[in-house]
Structure 1
Amino acid sequence: MRIKMKLSSPLRDLLREAGLLLIVILAGTIGYRIIEGWSLVDSLFMTVTTISTVGYSEVHPLSTLGRIFSIFLILGGVGAAFHILTTLVQHIIEGEFGIRIGRQRMEAKIKKLRDHFILCGYGRVGEATASALKQHKAKFVVIEITQENADKSRQAGFLTIQGDATKDETLRTAGIDKARALIAALGDDADNTYTILAAQQLNPTLPMVARANDIDAQTKLRLAGAHHVVAPEIVGGKRMAMLALRPAMIEFVETVLFGRGQELLIEEIEVSEDSPLVGSTIRQIEERFHGVRILALRDKDGVLMPNPNPNSSIEKNSSLAIFGTTDQLQSIEGCCQLRKKRLFRSTKVG
């Protein structure tokens, strides 16, 4: 397997100039040895002192031909040395300032974010989460403490902060006061717990999802303030079992949520006191907004009723989990002007 390395332009110029300088030194050494008949060491010493213009006198008296050769050696050698010096300075300046400018641009973009997600951790779980967020065209920023994973996140094109997600300063830099939700996907349960605690203090109303690597950590994370806790191994095991038991059903759900084709959404719409939906039945809403399906009803006391009775009436301060296309859901929002919480999003089914 061949690995191709692409060098930056300043570094490539630096290597080219260094090669040219070595050729000049080699040519000078050989020239003095042939013209003056000096030893290899004397010829090399004379070449280096001539090119560097340090001012040492000749090793041995030069002949007329040797002096003429020295003139051309000075012109070629000093020019090559000057070019390699300027290229080296350019490489250093562009490297340092490039990193600084890139960081400033990233910070400026993060400051402009509103209603975005904060993803803490860019390991295997974090990378998969970032990929899903990107698929749903969600705005998000990644917080990663390690240089390797932070660079990997930047190479993927994600806004990335290299820092400790458990620190208040890092979370403030990520715009936690303006964020839509936080996802703690760090590899250590203690770090996830501290991250949730810090986020809870900075933004008590922020929805938070946490990763739990150990079953015992799930309760602690919820007590710390996480609204949802996900154990990747447990979820993965259940999904494998369901794929074996009901492959068609799982395939349908994944097609709806993560497929390609017509865009579908599942949204939770909160019914305000003055909403026109108050007093309507499930059937009436589905008939009025053709194509939508109400999957669940949460009453004003917070009790969730999946697959509600079509004759159930909608009370004020309740909420509906509605399934439909973007246009269908927008028609409901445009009619009722309700505040909604997006739960899942699937792009392009079919």
Structure 2
Amino acid sequence: MANGVPYRVGPPPVPAEDFSILRRLKAALLVLAAILVIGTVGYMLIEGFVFIDAFYMTVITVATVGFEEVHQLSQAGELFTILIILLGVGALGYTVGVVAEFMVEGHLLGLVEVRRLETRLSELKDHYILCGYGRVGEEVARSFSDARVPFVVIEMKDERVAECVGEGNLCFKGDATQDEVLTRAGIERARGLVCAVDTDADNVFVVLSARTLNPQIMIVARSNEVESEAKLAKAGADRVLSPAAIDGRRMANLLVKPVISDYLDFVTHGNNLEFHLEEVTVSPDSELASKTIGEAHLRAKAGVLILAVRKPDGRFDTNPSSSTLLETGDSLVAIGTDEQVEAFKRMV
């Protein structure tokens, strides 16, 4: 499922040797096929066999099964048969060895997992891309999972990829600064991107690439240094956050305004709440467009309470009344139960 529920299982990265042995297997099969063609044509030219007899003679010669010849061979035919035996036995033995290695050592399973991963990635739509699975990325992934939104993680380090997959997330190894990696993650179809790789320089490159590949995508970037915030914004990030600054403000608020801080944290992150916050955007074909909150009868039809309205230009109405006009593109912050929120979303 590409919408609403995330793909929770992703295969581990496939080692390069899987693709190496696949190339060897293809080469071995091509050589074997070439010997069969050479043998068949040779018997047809040297002995005058019809195609089926020539092909049969080639197969039993390469396989060394010891069946009797279909026709008596001339001296030239016998010499040609010796050549086919020498070439065919070697090629067949090598092919069987490669096939056995391919099956026994798990390379086939690795390639199947790659195909499965590519299928899942191609099915993602309106999803989120998380670049980096460090301490910040791990928290972002956990929040995405709790919100039950589709997302994929891009990470460079093998141990982090294994950890991410172990948590049940869709993840693959790659350098998020590369356009082809972002394209593989479905950047053109994505709704948003979180940039949380290790360095600010890499974050700038990721933001630049993402903004170029998808000008409409919402980008949130992590900044380690204050001086990097302006660079990330210029590169195309819609929001730039500094974990140090956020932690500092939160620690101060916990001391100065502890009840408010606990309440906001409880409402926005509590997992066992009857009521929770939700945000939606008024679409052009919504029944709410060009109506006031009172005219929309939201309390009667859905049961939600509108806490705030943000206009497309960024202006906030933090105390909307029944006379507040709702327009296409407005973002509404509402509170209600799961059932009420779902009814509200259907109206929007």
Partner SS, residue 323 of structure 1:
strand
The answer as to whether partners of 1:271 and 1:319 remain within 8 angstroms in 2 is no
1:180, 1:191 → 2: CA distance?
21
1:264, 1:161 → 2: CA distance?
32
2:193, 2:268 → 1: CA distance?
21
More off after superposition, 96-105 vs 217-226: 96-105
Going from structure 1 to structure 2, the CA distance change for 1:254 and 1:300 (only over 3 Å counts) comes to closer
User: In the TM superposition, what whole-angstrom CA distance separates every residue of 1:51-86 from its partner, at most 9, and x where no partner exists?
Assistant: xxxxxxxxxxxxxxxxxxxxxxxxxxxxxxxxxxx9
Residue 304 of structure 1 pairs with residue 316 of structure 2: yes
Residue 266 of structure 1 pairs with residue 275 of structure 2: no
Partner SS, residue 104 of structure 1:
helix
Give the structure 2 partner of residue 162 of structure 1.
Answer: 173
Residue 333 of structure 1 pairs with residue 319 of structure 2: no
Give the structure 1 partner of residue 119 of structure 2.
Answer: 108
Going from structure 1 to structure 2, the CA distance change for 1:244 and 1:204 (only over 3 Å counts) comes to same
Partner SS, residue 332 of structure 1:
helix
Q: Which runs of 5+ in 2 are unaligned?
A: 1-96
2:255, 2:161 → 1: CA distance?
37
Give the C-alpha shift of residue 286 in structure 1: 4.9
Normalised TM-score (structure 1): 0.64
Give the structure 2 partner of residue 231 of structure 1.
Answer: 242
Give the structure 1 partner of residue 216 of structure 2.
Answer: 205
Going from structure 1 to structure 2, the CA distance change for 1:241 and 1:301 (only over 3 Å counts) comes to closer
Residue 215 of structure 1 pairs with residue 226 of structure 2: yes
Residue 245 of structure 1 pairs with residue 256 of structure 2: yes
Going from structure 1 to structure 2, the CA distance change for 1:271 and 1:206 (only over 3 Å counts) comes to closer
Task: Pick the structure with greater CA Rg.
Answer: 1
1:107, 1:316 → 2: CA distance?
36
The answer as to whether partners of 1:269 and 1:321 remain within 8 angstroms in 2 is no
CA RMSD of superposed structures (Å): 2.6
Q: Which runs of 5+ in 1 are unaligned?
A: 1-85, 339-350
More off after superposition, 92-101 vs 190-199: 92-101
2:284, 2:323 → 1: CA distance?
20
Give the C-alpha shift of residue 284 in structure 1: 6.6
User: In the TM superposition, what whole-angstrom CA distance separates every residue of 1:161-197 from its partner, at most 9, and x where no partner exists?
Assistant: 2110000010011111111211101121111111011
One-letter amino acid matched to 2:306: I
More off after superposition, 282-291 vs 149-158: 282-291
More off after superposition, 316-325 vs 237-246: 316-325
Give the C-alpha shift of residue 310 in structure 1: 4.4
Normalised TM-score (structure 2): 0.64
1:263, 1:139 → 2: CA distance?
23
Going from structure 1 to structure 2, the CA distance change for 1:290 and 1:144 (only over 3 Å counts) comes to closer
One-letter amino acid matched to 2:160: N
One-letter amino acid matched to 1:332: F
The answer as to whether partners of 1:150 and 1:160 remain within 8 angstroms in 2 is yes
Give the structure 1 partner of residue 149 of structure 2.
Answer: 138
Give the C-alpha shift of residue 231 in structure 1: 0.8
One-letter amino acid matched to 2:261: I
2:286, 2:163 → 1: CA distance?
49
Select the residue among 287, 305, 323 that pairs with 1:293. 305
Give the structure 2 partner of residue 99 of structure 1.
Answer: 110
The answer as to whether partners of 2:282 and 2:289 remain within 8 angstroms in 1 is no
1:274, 1:267 → 2: CA distance?
15
